[in-house]
Amino acid sequence: MELRYLVYVLMFLLTTLFLYLIKTRDQKDLNRRGRLPPGSMGWPYIGETLQLYSQDPSLFFATKQKRYGEIFKTHILGCQCVMLASPEAARFVLVTQAHLFKPTYPESKERLIGPSAIFFHQGDYHTRLRKLVQSSLSLNSIRNLVADIEAISALAFDKWDGGLMINTFQEMKKISFEVGILAILGHLEPHHKEDLKKNYSIVDKGYNSFPTNFPGSPYKKALLARQRLSKVLSDVIGERKEKKLLEKDLLGCLLNSKDEKGEVLTEDQIADNIIGVLFAAQDTTASALTWIIKYLHDNPKLLEAVKAEQKAIRKLNDKPLNWNQTRKMPLTYKVVLESLRMASIISFTFREAVADVEYKGYLIPKGWKVMPLFRNIQHNPEFFTDPQKFDPSRFEVAPKPNTFMPFGSGVHSCPGNELAKLEMLIVVHNLVTNFRWEVVGSENGIQYGPFPVPQRGLPARFWKESTSSNALQFTMT
């Protein structure tokens, strides 16, 4: 008996010693290669993950930044990483030395979205896809979508009339999904859209769940739904080819693409990118829209001014909103920008160093992750005075270079940014010219899922503002 325990203790000690030796060997090797940035690595193997998750993540980073400066090392989620909290450092990684840092995502997420999706790649394949995605989402392409986006948003809003309590984020997700489908697949047949919607929502649920192949787990269900999505997309592609349709949406661009050797994209590559772009489009835009509704609600004077701007546009023509009008909404546009800054939907991103890289005398070792901290930069009082105050007028002057990056920067920056902004302008237009709303509960918390969303998705009630004929009806009944 005693002996067995002795053996266990001995084994434990030996393992610890072994790990310690490896660590000091690695450490010596690193010291030879250069000077690591300042910072603490926390407990072995868990690193500082617990600290990160036991408090507001922004606070975690801000505290570190105060202590160590613009660049510091830490150890979270099992990775050694270097965090970057200055505009110059973010630009270094994302723009000027982008070739030394590749995108990096957990394998489980790559499998779910599809490994050929644009944002997992670097180099020639990425460049080729990026051109296709960019051209389908360019100003020239999306200017034709105004009427359709307005119709999508009006249809969604009509369902909320009458003070029904809704989860704003979940409702906004419906709008951003429809707009995503429109930009990617154009006017899809209703039964295809229904199949995509249902199966995609299963993928969506599995995305943030624990990645296990155990039958019946949300992740496994999501993988199966992802396979069905490929089938639906393959049917859509088949029908397009049969009808010889030449559309200018993303699917059209992907289908027409040939590389220098005349090779077309495979159906898997096309499917992965369609699901990838849909994924990039949905929760981000829905989260931004939800914040806009909260900020407008919390700032009644501003809301009145936005209403005045939008009602003046509505008065000009009885016809639906047109592209030119969406380019002339100066106040609403600033509200959109300030909401993006305040909410900082993509709080940070990840890259991985593909070689040892030196930045301002510090070594970023090959294989380490780097994290540009967009949120901290956008909330730094040095660049945005009184950063916690919602103040659209701060955008009357352009922010300093690389301090405002809600859509990232460099080769992987968001190709959907113009579409996202257009969608926000149109939704705000529809909302403030037709509805009044009340937020239920006044808590100010943020939920991360993983994008920041107001507590509980911002429960709210909406009422269609009575036009004169409605008011008459009301008094008569």
Ligand X SMILES: *[C@@H]1O[C@H](CO)[C@@H](O)[C@H](O)[C@H]1NC(C)=O
User: What is the binding site for ligand HEM (CB under 6 A)?
Assistant: 118-119, 130, 133, 137, 180, 183, 277, 280-281, 284-285, 288, 345-346, 349, 406-408, 412-416, 419-420
* # binding residues, ligand X (CB under 6 A): 8
User: Whose Cβ is closer to ligand X: residue 67's or residue 231's?
Assistant: 231
User: Whose Cβ is closer to ligand X: residue 164's or residue 316's?
Assistant: 316
Residue 130 backbone dihedrals phi, psi, to 5 degrees: -60, -40
Choose one: 6-14, 92-100, 128-136, 227-235; the region binding ligand X (CB under 6 A): 227-235
Choose one: 8-16, 147-155, 226-234, 469-477; the region binding ligand X (CB under 6 A): 226-234
Q: Is 81 annotated as belonging to a binding site?
A: no
User: Whose Cβ is closer to ligand HEM: residue 310's or residue 378's?
Assistant: 378
C-alpha span between 11 and 53 (Å, rounded) = 32
User: What is the closest distance, in whole angstroms, from the C-beta atom of residue 116 to ligand X in the complex?
Assistant: 20
Q: What is each CA distance from 185 to 141, 196, 278, 347, in whole angstroms?
A: 13, 11, 10, 29
C-alpha span between 33 and 122 (Å, rounded) = 26
User: What is the closest distance, in whole angstroms, from the C-beta atom of residue 143 to ligand HEM in the complex?
Assistant: 15
Q: Is 231 in the site for ligand X (CB under 6 A)?
A: yes
Q: Which residues contact 208 (CB under 8 A, 6 or more apart)?
A: 449, 450
From ligand X, ligand HEM, none, which one binds at residue 118 (CB under 5 to 8 Å depending on kind)?
ligand HEM
Pairing of the two strands 362-364 and 357-359: antiparallel
- Exposure string over 183-195, b if 16+ CB within 10 A, otherwise e: bbbbebeeebbeb
User: Whose Cβ is closer to ligand HEM: residue 36's or residue 185's?
Assistant: 185
Q: Which residues contact 189 (CB under 8 A, 6 or more apart)?
A: 239
Helices 218-243 and 267-298 meet at what angle, rounded to 10?
Answer: 110
Interface residue with ligand X among 102, 174, 228, 464 (CB under 6 A) is: 228
115's enclosing H/E stretch is none
Residue nearest to ligand HEM (CB): 416
From ligand X, ligand HEM, none, which one binds at residue 327 (CB under 5 to 8 Å depending on kind)?
none
From ligand X, ligand HEM, none, which one binds at residue 280 (CB under 5 to 8 Å depending on kind)?
ligand HEM
The token pair at 63 is 């505290």
464's enclosing H/E stretch is strand 459-464
Contacts (CB under 6 A) with ligand X, residues 183-222 = 195, 198-199
User: Whose Cβ is closer to ligand HEM: residue 321's or residue 419's?
Assistant: 419
User: Whose Cβ is closer to ligand HEM: residue 105's or residue 435's?
Assistant: 105
Q: Is 322 in the site for ligand X (CB under 6 A)?
A: yes
C-alpha span between 307 and 205 (Å, rounded) = 36
C-alpha span between 228 and 234 (Å, rounded) = 10
From ligand HEM, ligand X, none, which one binds at residue 231 (CB under 5 to 8 Å depending on kind)?
ligand X
User: What is the closest distance, in whole angstroms, from the C-beta atom of residue 121 to ligand HEM in the complex?
Assistant: 8
C-alpha span between 228 and 199 (Å, rounded) = 7
Q: Is 232 in the site for ligand X (CB under 6 A)?
A: yes
443's enclosing H/E stretch is none
User: What is the closest distance, in whole angstroms, from the C-beta atom of residue 18 to ligand X in the complex?
Assistant: 49
SS3 for 246?
Answer: coil
Cis peptide before 450 (omega within 30 of 0): yes
The token pair at 46 is 């868990």
User: Whose Cβ is closer to ligand X: residue 222's or residue 250's?
Assistant: 222
First to last CA, the chain: 88
User: What is the closest distance, in whole angstroms, from the C-beta atom of residue 60 to ligand HEM in the complex?
Assistant: 20
From ligand HEM, ligand X, none, which one binds at residue 222 (CB under 5 to 8 Å depending on kind)?
none
Q: Which residues bind ligand X (CB under 6 A)?
A: 195, 198-199, 228, 231-232, 322, 324
Residues placed in the known binding site: 414
Residues placed in the known binding site for heme: 414
